[in-house]
Amino acid sequence: MVVLSLTGCAPRYYDPGERLVNQESVGEYLFAVQGVYPRNCRLTQRVLVHFRGGEFDMIGYLFLRPEGEWSAVALGDMGIELFHLRWTNGQGEVIRQPESMPPGPIRDGVIADIQHLFGRKHAHPAYLTQQARGRVGLVLQISQDVLEVYDFVGRGKELAGSRTIADGVIVREATFEGAAMYSGAADPLSKRIVLHNYEWGYSMEVEPLSVELADQPQHTSED
């Protein structure tokens, strides 16, 4: 289930930690972030959205492509398409959204959230750091001023949390709760992801339902 709701929050600053001397296992941690989901699949999710007093009850479909592109669709009552978002050539695009909703939180917020949680990471420089409570952090240098940090616990490289840091300030933060096997997935997936977008002031909860392999996934005749 995905839940969005407006919240207020003061800026929070974050130190990604001290670099580990041994960086040999960076690739293994990268795989733990992005290798769980097949690169050509449809991920089905439960979706409930709250935004500025409005509520949308939807089923969400996320199509992941081998080249790192993706498209996300949310269907409402009677299968009507409410949202259609896409990531191609390193850019996000809003194809469809309700006319009554301002474009900023979707174009600059939700699309970036999806890319943070499910997008490919291989194009960015990466290194490991020592986090608090014995955790290991995988740091991705997205740009000169933007970092993405993924926190792991235990020897099995269990993903526990993640965040996006811009100019030292946390703009996005997620926690990953539990793990379970889902239809179509080769490895366990997080049963619940709770994401807070501090830049736009909403929170998001994600609960997957199934993962289906698909050569050319389709959801609508207009895709």
**Structure confidence at residue 68 as a pLDDT band (50, 70, 90):** confident
Kindly report the pTM of this predicted structure.
0.85
Mean pLDDT of 31-40: 78
CA-closest candidate to residue 90, choices 143, 152, 156: 143
Task: Say what the pLDDT of residue 103 is.
Answer: 81
Mark residue 23 as left, alpha or beta (left: phi above 0; alpha: psi -120 to 50; beta: remaining). alpha
Per the CB < 8 A criterion, the answer to whether 204 and 2 are in contact is yes
The string of DSSP letters for the chain reads -----B------B----EEPS--TTHHHHHHHHHSSS-SSEEEEEEEEEEETTEEEEEEEEEEE-TTS-EEEEEE-GGG-EEEEEEEETTEEEEEE--TTS-SHIIIIIIHHHHHHHHS--TTS-EEEEE-GGG-EEEEEE-SSSEEEEEEEETTTTEEEEEEEEETTEEEEEEEEE--B--TT-SS-B-SEEEEEETTTTEEEEEEEEEEEE-SS--SSTT-
State how far the Cα of 48 lies from the Cα of 102, in Å rounded to an integer: 18
pLDDT at 32: 83
Q: What is the pLDDT of residue 222?
A: 45
Please state, as a whole number, how many other Cβ atoms lie within 10 Å of the Cβ of residue 38: 18
| pLDDT for res 50 | 66
The residue ranges of every structural domain in the chain are 18-213
Q: What pLDDT score was predicted for residue 164?
A: 95
Give the pLDDT confidence score for residue 94 in this predicted structure. Answer: 95
Q: What is the DSSP string of 120-135?
A: --TTS-EEEEE-GGG-
pLDDT at residue 57, rounded to an integer? 77
Question: Are 100 and 54 a contacting pair, CB within 8 Å?
Answer: yes
Which CATH superfamily groups domain 18-213?
Lipoprotein localisation LolA/LolB/LppX (2.50.20.10)
Q: CA nearest 26: which of 129, 143, 115?
A: 129
What is the spatial distance between Cα 76 and Cα 99, in angstroms, rounded to a whole number?
15
Distance between CA atoms of residues 90 and 116, nearest Å: 12
Which percentage of the chain shows pLDDT scores above 70?
85
Give the tens place of pLDDT for each residue, 171-199.
Answer: 999 999 888 888 777 778 888 888 888 88
Q: Is residue 64 within 8 Å of residue 56, measured between CB atoms?
A: no
Residue 137 confidence (pLDDT): 92
